[in-house]
Amino acid sequence: MDRLNEYRIMWVLIFFDLPTETPEERKIAAKFRKEIMQDGFTMFQFSIYLRHCPSRENADVHIKRTKEKLPNKGHIGILCVTDKQFGLMEIFYGKKIQETQTPYQQLELF
């Protein structure tokens, strides 16, 4: 079996919703984000971070490290998907409503 294929390569996603009402809670949330980024995770959306891993075994190492850094409060989810599954994700960016500008002048004949 090929060592690096789309079914062996993994993506680890961390989803979290941490309290940020007090300065102490904001400090804890910022520390958690900083620590997972130091472990190679990058921001996908504000509370969703992801990391590419060459194997399930490597993904397990990073999942274990993340679990060791979990804050006492908040909701955190960890999801591991194959590169194939990740590649099937559809991503949409919202469209800004803009006025259409007519590139020509309409002449009216009567």
The model's pLDDT over 48-93, given as tens digits with 9 standing for 90+, comes to 999 999 999 999 999 999 999 999 999 999 999 999 998 888 877 7
Q: Answer whether residue 94 is part of any domain.
A: no
Full-prediction pTM beyond 0.75?
yes
Q: Answer whether residue 98 is part of any domain.
A: no
- Residue 2 has a pLDDT of 55
CB 62 within 8 A of CB 51: yes
Residue 108 has pLDDT above 80, yes or no: no
User: If we measure between CA atoms, which residue out of 41, 42, 53, 49 comes closest to residue 18?
Assistant: 49
- Residue 94 has a pLDDT of 74
Break the chain down into helix, strand, coil percent, rounded to 5. 30, 25, 45
Q: Answer whether residue 18 is part of any domain.
A: yes
Residue 96 has pLDDT above 80, yes or no: no
Average pLDDT of the segment spanning 83-109: 62
- Name which residue leads in pLDDT, 1 or 39: 39
Q: Answer whether residue 29 is part of any domain.
A: yes
Q: Answer whether residue 17 is part of any domain.
A: yes
Domain count, the chain: 1
Residue 32 has pLDDT above 90, yes or no: yes
Q: Answer whether residue 96 is part of any domain.
A: no
Q: Answer whether residue 104 is part of any domain.
A: no
- Name which residue leads in pLDDT, 101 or 73: 73
Q: Answer whether residue 5 is part of any domain.
A: no
- 51 lies in which domain range? 10-87
Over the chain, what is the mean pLDDT? 85
Which residue has tokens 């789309």? 6
CATH code at 28? 3.30.70.240
